[in-house]
Structure 1
Amino acid sequence: MFYLNEIYIFGHGVETTQKLSGSTPHDQLLIQTSNSFVGLLLFVVGFLVFMVAFVKDREFQSFFAKGCVLLHISMALWRVNFERRLEDLAWDWPRQAVGDVVLALSWVFFLLYTWREKYD
């Protein structure tokens, strides 16, 4: 439906995609179920961010942004500590870790902008 195999090939290459897609039908079903839950989680997180955008309370938005910074830094640390040990994903983790740090910085810039508005 979403051409996941082609996306994996584009991101990781043919050989790694074959390894990551599972060797048995049971493994493939587990991976597809996991991908479905990841998609659902992304939808819920996007909906949550959309709802928070309409909250007028600056303290809550600041709390939410700090949580997002913590989440992105945690993901970057996870990639550095664990994903680099996986042979098939070893070359991919630096790019993703940098992406996580950049996303965390975007929330830090949001916090600095709201802090500047608060104390101006």
Structure 2
Amino acid sequence: MASPSSSPSSSGFFAICLLHSAVAVTCGALMMFYLNEIAVFGHGSETARKLQGSTPHDQLLIQTSDSFAGLLLMAIGFLLFMVSFVKDRDFQAFFAKGCVLLHASMALWRVYFERRVDDLARDWPRQLVGDIMLSLSWVLFLVYSWREKYD
């Protein structure tokens, strides 16, 4: 008889990981290759122009930083894709708790720091809702797996 931690889990973990992976890879690719267009779409043309920097040196530094951030996001997306195939329930619960903590930390960052940046002040509530929704998907997985474990 298999132990409860090694028994196959529901497909919820797989689906959530694939969803988050698709979001991360898509956002990362857009950041790397279409940053200006995405900034205009997300922030408006005036704010996007301010976020590009004022001198050529600043612009190069910001573009390089944003490209590396996009590359990191793509790497996280591929990592999420690989993790989605893990069947160990204990690992899934541990990973989901870590993701909740990560999204909660990002939400706190937006509340305490990002809202103070004048050019981003109008965008942080929308991004905060996104962080909460991504975190909520992991919380719902934890609640569902906990219920499944003890029923």
- Select the residue among 50, 65, 89 that pairs with 1:58: 89
Q: Separation in 2 of the partners of 1:12 and 1:43?
A: 22
Aligned to 1:12: 43
Counterparts of 1:103 and 1:2, CA distance in 2 = 24
RMSD: 1.2
Which one of the candidate residues 101, 107, 111 is aligned to 1:70? 101
> Which protein, 1 or 2, shows the higher relative CO under an 8 Å CA cutoff with sep ≥ 6?
2
Structure 2: runs of 5+ lacking an equivalent: 1-31
Amino acid at match of 1:24: T
Q: Identity across aligned pairs (percent)? A: 77
SS at match of 2:33: coil
C-alpha distance in structure 2 between counterparts of 1:27 and 1:47, whole Å:
30
User: TM (normalized to structure 2)?
Assistant: 0.75
SS at match of 1:22: coil
- Residues matched between the structures, number: 120
TM value normalised by structure 1: 0.94
Partner of residue 79, structure 2: 48
Q: Counterpart amino acid of 2:90?
A: E
- Consecutive unaligned residues in structure 1, runs of 5 or more: none
C-alpha displacement of 1:12 = 0.8
1:106 matched residue in structure 2:
137
